[in-house]
Amino acid sequence: MKKRFIVGSNAFFKSFDDFKPHDEDILFLYDKLDQINLQVRLHNKNKCIFEWKRLTPDEYIKYHKEHQCGIFIGKFLVPEFVKEIGFTIEHLKQLEFLLDLLDEKHQYEKLIYNYYIENNDFYLTNEQLAEVYKTYKLFKK
């Protein structure tokens, strides 16, 4: 069985009229997968497909501590995904180290992370979302 999630900038900014994504990031969560994660980029269709095996929150944290890659934090910022895997704010706090590994164009994810910690839940107010989008546009130029 697999579940599909929109991740990346599309998960947050599709409601903004001037949002023009250059690609679409899709995460598939599989109950059974031979490897923990796979990534496929479909250049001709401007899609990035991420395939992840379903793990417990603690297993995800362990994996990400062993395979330190900043952009991996993005999926843990998507409320539908974290709800599906039972991830909490306390779990998210354990991945803070990934923020230091983010490249410039993903700096907006730091803001999302910080707002989630401040809100003690996986949501953004309209004002917070507007601030995150402003940061996204600044670094996407």
Q: What is the per-residue burial (b if ≥16 Cβ within 10 Å, else e) of 34-63?
A: eeebeeeeeeeeeebbbbbbbeebeebbee
For the segment 16-43, what is each residue's pLDDT rounded down to a tens digit? 999 999 889 999 999 988 888 887 777 6
Is 44:52 a contact under the CB 8 Å cutoff? no
Q: At what angle do helices 126-140 and 108-119 cross, to 10 degrees?
A: 160
Q: Is the pLDDT of residue 134 over 70?
A: yes
pLDDT at 43: 63
Domain boundaries, the chain: 2-140
For the segment 57-104, what is each residue's pLDDT rounded down to a tens digit? 999 999 999 999 998 999 999 999 999 999 999 999 999 999 999 999
DSSP-derived secondary structure letter, 77: G
Residues 6+ apart with CB under 8 A from 17: none
- What is d(CA 128, CA 53) in angstroms, rounded to the nearest whole number? 31
In this prediction the pTM is: 0.93
For the segment 37-60, what is each residue's pLDDT rounded down to a tens digit? 887 777 667 889 999 999 999 999
105-116 mean pLDDT = 97
pLDDT at 141: 72
